[in-house]
């Protein structure tokens, strides 16, 4: 193992860590925001919208993220309409494509989690809210959404880890994330392990930190459920 080379290129790996965190942070945020209305549409069985949300979620959960990413990055570029549009300066950038693909994918998974959490809310909580005169919008805003988000928390920590694992494919569209940094190092010096092992360790550390954060968050937000 050539540890010197890894240390010499620590900036490369730092950039990789930053890119990975930035990529998944942004995608999880956008995906989460998209997921709430999708889940509500499904749980409330809104006409057409509910079905559409279910189909969206199934299709994005039923196909590889790699296909989704390539469709956006390589696929969209073939259309003149896209290349001449206002969004082209954004859509031609791999980072933006990755964020869009990851967000849409994450939304599909998180939507499923929140839907499950909404359906698991005890009827009594909702009836009690109605009994004290809350309108249905108010019940949704004050009772259902906060309760569902809390209950989805343990499953959501898996989604964060899943997103982290999935984000490595960003390196296949020229983005220098953690794996990208490792592959660049290996490519520069014709190495077999160093770059990849460094990447593996960095990912392990991030997973460890994420698990710790979620353990704390669960203790805080789900304290009322601990027996």
Partner 1 sequence: MVELITEYGPMVLSGLGLTVALSLAAVALAVLFGIMGAALRLSSNPVSRGIGRSYTTLVRGIPDLVLMLLVFFGGQTLLNNLGNATGRWRYLEISPFMAGSITIGFIFGAYMTETFRGAFLSIPVGQIEAAKAIGMTPRQYMARIVWPQIVPLALPSFTNNWLVLLKTTALASILGLHDIMYNAHQAGRTSQEPFLFLLMAFFIYLGLTLVSDMALRALGRRYALR
Residues forming contacts to partner 1 in the complex (CB under 8 A) are 59, 62-68, 70-71, 74-79, 161, 164-169, 171-172, 179, 182-183, 186, 192-193, 196-197, 199-200, 203-204, 207-208
27 vs 68, beta carbon nearer partner 1: 68
Question: Does residue 174 sit in helix, strand or coil?
Answer: coil
Question: How far apart, in whole angstroms, are the C-alpha atoms of residue 108 and residue 119?
Answer: 17
- Residue 156, judged by CB atoms within 10 A of its CB (0-12, 13-18, 19+), counts as buried
Residue 151: how many other CB atoms lie within 10 Å: 20
Query: Least Å distance between CB 30 and partner 1?
Result: 21
34 vs 169, beta carbon nearer partner 1: 169
Query: Least Å distance between CB 161 and partner 1?
Result: 7
57: Cβ contacts below 8 Å, ≥ 6 apart = 38, 42, 108, 109, 111, 112
Query: Least Å distance between CB 76 and partner 1?
Result: 7
41 vs 160, beta carbon nearer partner 1: 160
Kindly report the backbone phi and psi dihedral angles of residue 217, in degrees, each rounded to the nearest multiple of 5, phi listed first: -60, -40
Give me 95's structure tokens: 């980072």
Enter the DSSP assignment of 92. Answer: T
46 vs 161, beta carbon nearer partner 1: 161
145 vs 197, beta carbon nearer partner 1: 197
Query: Least Å distance between CB 144 and partner 1?
Result: 27
Question: How far apart, in whole angstroms, are the C-alpha atoms of residue 172 and residue 27?
Answer: 17
Query: Least Å distance between CB 48 and partner 1?
Result: 21
């Amino acid at each position: 193992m050539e540890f010197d080379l890894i240390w010499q290129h620590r900036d490369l790996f730092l950039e990789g860590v930053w890119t990975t965190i930035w990529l998944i942070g942004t995608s999880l945020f956008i995906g989460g925001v998209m997921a709430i209305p999708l889940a509500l549409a499904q749980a409330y069985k809104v006409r057409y919208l509910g079905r559409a949300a279910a189909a969206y979620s199934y299709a994005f959960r039923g196909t590889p993220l790699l296909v989704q990413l390539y469709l956006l990055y390589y696929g969209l570029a073939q259309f003149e309409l896209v290349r001449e549009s206002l969004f082209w300066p954004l859509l031609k950038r791999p980072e933006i494509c990755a964020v869009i693909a990851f967000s849409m994918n994450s939304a599909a998974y998180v939507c499923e989690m929140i839907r499950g959490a909404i359906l698991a809310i005890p009827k009594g909580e909702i009836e009690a809210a109605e009994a004290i005169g809350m309108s249905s919008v108010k019940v949704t805003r004050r009772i259902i959404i906060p309760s569902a988000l809390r209950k989805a928390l343990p499953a959501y920590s898996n989604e964060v880890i899943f997103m982290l694992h999935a984000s490595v494919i960003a390196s296949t569209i020229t983005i220098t994330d953690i794996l990208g940094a490792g592959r660049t190092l290996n490519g520069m010096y014709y190495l077999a392990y160093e770059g990849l092992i460094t990447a593996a360790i960095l990912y392990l550390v991030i997973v460890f930190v994420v698990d710790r954060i979620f353990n704390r968050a669960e203790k805080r937000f789900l304290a009322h459920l601990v027996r």
